[in-house]
Structure 1
Amino acid sequence: MMNVLPQIYSDELLYSVLSRYKRMCGMQSRRAFLEDVYGESKMLTSIFFPQYLERFRENLPPYSKITVDELIWNHTMFPFYTAFLSKERSDLIYSMMVNGCGKSIENLVGFSGGKVKPYNRLRYCPRCYSEDMDEFGESFWRRFHQVPGVLYCLKHETLLKSTIVPSTEKYADYWCADVDVCNDVEDDTYDERFMELNRAYIQNTMFLMDGDYQKKELPDTVDFYVDRLREKGLASANGFIYTKNFVHQFLQFYPSHYLSLMQSNVDESQQANWLRLFVRNNAKNRSPLRHLLVLQFLGISAEEFFYDQSILGRITARVNHVPSFDLEDRRNAWLKIIETNPGLNRSQLKEIGKGLHTWIYKHDRNWYDQVTPRVRARKKRSPVIDWAKRDEECLALAKQAVESLLNREGKPIRVLPATIRQEIGVRRWLDNRKLVRTRQFIKEATEDINSYRIRKIRWAIGELEAEGVNMTVYKVQLYAGFGGNNREITELIRQLFILEV
């Protein structure tokens, strides 16, 4: 059982709380840490969707009154990513977080198949970080800063910065929001129009994160969009959407570069762009980010969307169509098109005989399926990878990355598999088992915590010497970023002072 729990800050990710707890207890072993928190070490750890929360709650100190429901709604990304999902799927995800399932929840919310991806590094606001350090003596990871599409800190209107901390790995390590990773300064900015658009997006996001909304199922959501498009003159009285005008006005409302930042580019010439498909009743994944973009374009807040129950949607009329052409004539004409265009697939044949295709497909479907060929282009075989050559190339990159990390100016960065990948600019594929020499080198080059501490201390000593400061153990400890209360570090600095002298 855990004997103590750090203060949980407003909007703090549970991952951040656990990272601070791990540092507070001075734990180095990930296995021991997970056993201390959950009672078991072999499990997935997700930054956005932690599991086994009931087990975690039972392991909390007796005085703790925090509930699983409070953890999920106030300290995970659950309320944002499930806002537009069905109640059935949302309840399933909630249950998986409470009881655990051993499988990744991210796939259920659309991370794998969706085009809108979460930021793959944790982000922070430099101004919030400075204020936290002044007020609390430490900082923490805020949920709101990790929401895709949130470009600014609303409180300070400061551009959010990325760190080296990966956010979507299945077996994430526990990194605190400290000076080792939050060392960027505010400099970049966007123009006022971008800020204006993003402020409105952020306000809607804040409503979702509060979790104070009533579920709408997908058919009701689509009908709601149809109603609002009808009000803007972008749909007929029956609910037929004037797609071309809709897409055109959407692109006039949002600058193209802004849509690119929001991972939502729209190609006006593409028949199946995401905006055209968004307002159709289909099972395609819809990111909450894109829901908020469409609502903002329609001039509707997230709160209005969830509480407006007056939905009309499309109005369908049943009409019994009687063929007005001779069936045999139509069949012969379609067979002629197939005969004179061998090798073409159904889509290509449809383009040649548009009206005829529509008639045959509607009134004589079985015959159409029997006579119309299905031609599929063969997929090109992927080239065989020369893994020995790939291993040699990756090894060279890894060596360069380690050398760069060790010789970089400024506060040292610990040499870890994650920081090596970050330095190269690649993801976890560098850990492929076939990259034997690369994996072995990274394993050997990985810096243990004690070596990293010594390197930081020597760096701090060198910096203070260059500044002409009268050095003490305490000053070195603070300058290196260890704080002043870690006795183990204090003793290590004393030993280094003796060796250096």
Structure 2
Amino acid sequence: MMNFLPIIYDDEILFSVISRYKQMCGMVSKQALEEDLFNQRRNMNTSVLFPQEINTLVQNFPPNSQVTVREVIINQTLYPFYTAFLSEQRSEEIYRGMAKGHGKGFVNLLGIAGSKIKTNDLLKFCPSCLHDDMEHLGESYWRRLHQIPGALYCIKHQVSLRNSKIIITDSRVDFYCADEDVCPDQNEENIYPPIIQDLNLTYIRNASFLLSENQKRKDLTFIINFYIDQLREKGFASKVGSVYIKELLEAFVQFYPSQYLELMQSSIDVDKETNWVRLFIRNNNKNRSPLRHLLFMQFLGIDVKELFEVETVTGKQTIQHERAPHLELDKKRKEWLKLIQDNLGASRSKLKNIGKALHTWLYVNDRPWYDKVTPIEIVKRKRKESIDWEKRDNECLLLANKAVEMLMKKEGKPIRIIPSNIRRVIGVRRWFHHKKLVKTGKYLKEITEDLESYRIRKINWAIDELKQQEGSITVYKIQLYAGFGGSNRESKQLIEKVLIKVDLLKENQ
């Protein structure tokens, strides 16, 4: 049983609460901590973002605690976000899984396992929140809203979120508090254009509503019918609810910059029959990511609250049309053929603009004939330019060299020279490890700093810093200043070796 329960902060994830409890108790062993919380020593199967067996945890809260299982699941996990667009039945099943435990297959219930939308590999933090927390609370914590997929900014400070050092995709990860040791001090400015910031802040505001305010649920059929109604109202669907998919896709990719869609893991190839927008508005039983629901509603100009406040929807309709008289039909066809002849080479959209009323009449009453005689504009796609890999390899090698120089010259606690840190300085993704970048790959392999060398560099830095600040140094002071902790035997032995070498150097000078 827990001796006490730390104050639970606003929007704090459960992992953060447990991490602060562990630190306050001075506990070193993760296994011992889990025994206190879950009554058994075990390797937890749950991830950082989706904890399970919360019933047992709450039972082990102090006797005077008033916190309930429901409060933990609703307020300290991502349950409200990931179940927002699921039926009440599925949401309840997931709730029971979190409360009682559902094993390794739990992510299948959430629809994450097969989803194209992946969670971030590392916990995210806002440097301004970290600074404010330290100043006003004396500690900081991990926030739920920062961890939702697609969150690029802090809604409060409107600054870019940063990656911490805490990997959340590994179920074996220990419990770490949000502090300067795991939240690197990187003075990066906003790296995205203003339009991306504006789009993302709107997205996060809608996501915040799902996390903090909404507990209503709608089934998928209702949601799809709601979308059809909105598309009809915006002119992207007919009266009966048939979607004008070409016009919809064109408007969608004009609304969202391609860079933003890539950042949101939702890129679109308008020519591909299986692009996600085409599939999104079909009434099937496949799970859709909350991220894409929010993207779609933002495109339609809908506040997410509207969906959950609507009581009735129409969706697709079946309307019986009376067959137009043959003479009238023949007259309309001749008029349309003449319009095509008078505007040779014009696209369908241009013909539609020239003869709007005629186009609408034929489209509704004589669609098969209209499709047969009306020309379709064929857009030739430009061939992508081939990449000069040798040139790119040389450019990347130069960037990697400069990044290493910057890391080595950076003031403050040393940063380990490894490929991920080099990429972070340059601001590139994993394409930097492409197999055709031969020179760059060889350089990254050669320059990678082994762990002991990095620790020695940190120790030497700590020695120099302490000498300037205090004059006298001890092994214990060096351990703490370098960030090893005061009880790490391995680091203590390494520090003693370094100190011996330092003294020998002095004697030989």
TM-score (norm. length: structure 1): 0.69
Structure 1 pair 468–170 and aligned structure 2 pair: CA distance change class (3 A): closer
2:463 counterpart residue number: 461
- Tell me the SS of whatever aligns to 2:123: strand
1:187 counterpart residue number: 189
1:17 counterpart residue number: 17
1:2 counterpart residue number: 2
1:220 counterpart residue number: 222
Residues 72-107 of structure 1 deviation map (CA, whole Å, 9 limit, x = unaligned): 111111110110112111111100111112234222
Structure 1 pair 168–316 and aligned structure 2 pair: CA distance change class (3 A): farther
Amino acid paired to 1:216: K
Contact 1:124/1:182 (8 A) holds in 2: yes
- Tell me the SS of whatever aligns to 1:23: helix
Contact 2:463/2:473 (8 A) holds in 1: no
Mean CA deviation greater in 215-224 or 168-177 = 168-177
Partners of 2:36 and 2:116 in 1: CA distance: 37
Structure 1: gaps spanning 5 or more residues: 320-406, 427-444
Contact 2:46/2:104 (8 A) holds in 1: no
1:300 counterpart residue number: 302
Structure 1 pair 482–3 and aligned structure 2 pair: CA distance change class (3 A): farther
Structure 1 pair 498–463 and aligned structure 2 pair: CA distance change class (3 A): closer
Residue 231 of structure 1, aligned match among 224, 233, 236: 233
Partners of 1:51 and 1:138 in 2: CA distance: 26
2:338 counterpart residue number: none
Structure 1 pair 27–123 and aligned structure 2 pair: CA distance change class (3 A): same
CA RMSD of aligned residues (A): 3.8
2:54 counterpart residue number: 53
Structure 1 pair 472–170 and aligned structure 2 pair: CA distance change class (3 A): closer
2:135 counterpart residue number: 134
2:124 counterpart residue number: 123
Partners of 1:66 and 1:446 in 2: CA distance: 43
Partners of 1:169 and 1:86 in 2: CA distance: 29
Residues 420-467 of structure 1 deviation map (CA, whole Å, 9 limit, x = unaligned): xx99979xxxxxxxxxxxxxxxxxx988xxx999986664222233x4
Query: Are positions 1:152 and 2:148 aligned together?
Result: no
- Tell me the SS of whatever aligns to 1:122: strand
Partners of 2:136 and 2:167 in 1: CA distance: 27
2:74 counterpart residue number: 73
Residue 208 of structure 1, aligned match among 202, 207, 210: 210
C-alpha displacement at 1:498, in angstroms?
10
Contact 2:46/2:103 (8 A) holds in 1: no
Partners of 1:10 and 1:476 in 2: CA distance: 36
- Tell me the SS of whatever aligns to 2:124: strand
Partners of 2:457 and 2:59 in 1: CA distance: 40
1:411 counterpart residue number: 413
- Tell me the SS of whatever aligns to 2:106: coil
2:314 counterpart residue number: 312
Contact 1:12/1:142 (8 A) holds in 2: yes
Contact 2:6/2:21 (8 A) holds in 1: yes
Structure 1 pair 482–60 and aligned structure 2 pair: CA distance change class (3 A): farther
C-alpha displacement at 1:412, in angstroms?
5.8
Contact 1:234/1:246 (8 A) holds in 2: yes
C-alpha displacement at 1:311, in angstroms?
0.5
Contact 1:165/1:175 (8 A) holds in 2: yes
TM-score (norm. length: structure 2): 0.68
Partners of 1:148 and 1:283 in 2: CA distance: 22
2:34 counterpart residue number: 34
Structure 1 pair 189–17 and aligned structure 2 pair: CA distance change class (3 A): same
Structure 2: gaps spanning 5 or more residues: 322-407, 432-449, 504-509
Mean CA deviation greater in 7-16 or 308-317 = 308-317
Partners of 1:52 and 1:300 in 2: CA distance: 37
Contact 1:16/1:141 (8 A) holds in 2: yes
Partners of 2:296 and 2:61 in 1: CA distance: 42
C-alpha displacement at 1:6, in angstroms?
2.2
Structure 1 pair 136–479 and aligned structure 2 pair: CA distance change class (3 A): farther
Structure 1 pair 133–453 and aligned structure 2 pair: CA distance change class (3 A): farther
- Tell me the SS of whatever aligns to 1:108: helix
Partners of 2:454 and 2:66 in 1: CA distance: 38
Partners of 1:106 and 1:459 in 2: CA distance: 44
- Tell me the SS of whatever aligns to 1:222: helix
Amino acid paired to 1:301: D
Contact 1:201/1:292 (8 A) holds in 2: yes
Structure 1 pair 318–102 and aligned structure 2 pair: CA distance change class (3 A): farther
C-alpha displacement at 1:203, in angstroms?
1.1
- Tell me the SS of whatever aligns to 1:162: strand
How do 1:76-475 residues align onto structure 2 when only pairs under 5 Å count? 76-183=77-184, 184-316=186-318, 411=413, 459-465=461-467, 467=468, 469-471=470-472
Residues 181-202 of structure 1 deviation map (CA, whole Å, 9 limit, x = unaligned): 2113332432221121112111
Contact 1:125/1:161 (8 A) holds in 2: yes
Number of matched residues? 390
Contact 2:73/2:79 (8 A) holds in 1: yes
- Tell me the SS of whatever aligns to 2:110: coil
Contact 2:80/2:215 (8 A) holds in 1: no
Q: In percent, how many aligned pairs have the same letter? A: 48
Partners of 2:244 and 2:463 in 1: CA distance: 68
Structure 1 pair 468–76 and aligned structure 2 pair: CA distance change class (3 A): closer
Contact 2:252/2:299 (8 A) holds in 1: yes
1:429 counterpart residue number: none
Residues 169-191 of structure 1 deviation map (CA, whole Å, 9 limit, x = unaligned): 23332222121221133324322
Partners of 2:278 and 2:470 in 1: CA distance: 65
Partners of 1:472 and 1:143 in 2: CA distance: 41
- Tell me the SS of whatever aligns to 2:108: coil
- Tell me the SS of whatever aligns to 1:223: helix
Contact 1:54/1:68 (8 A) holds in 2: yes
Structure 1 pair 480–136 and aligned structure 2 pair: CA distance change class (3 A): farther
Amino acid paired to 1:260: E
1:44 counterpart residue number: 45
Partners of 2:128 and 2:471 in 1: CA distance: 31
Residues 114-148 of structure 1 deviation map (CA, whole Å, 9 limit, x = unaligned): 11111111111111111111122221111110111
Amino acid paired to 2:166: V
Partners of 2:133 and 2:462 in 1: CA distance: 23
Structure 1 pair 3–446 and aligned structure 2 pair: CA distance change class (3 A): farther
- Tell me the SS of whatever aligns to 2:73: helix
Contact 2:51/2:98 (8 A) holds in 1: yes
Contact 2:155/2:201 (8 A) holds in 1: yes
Contact 1:73/1:211 (8 A) holds in 2: no
Contact 2:125/2:146 (8 A) holds in 1: yes
Mean CA deviation greater in 43-52 or 150-159 = 43-52
Residues 308-353 of structure 1 deviation map (CA, whole Å, 9 limit, x = unaligned): 123111013589xxxxxxxxxxxxxxxxxxxxxxxxxxxxxxxxxx
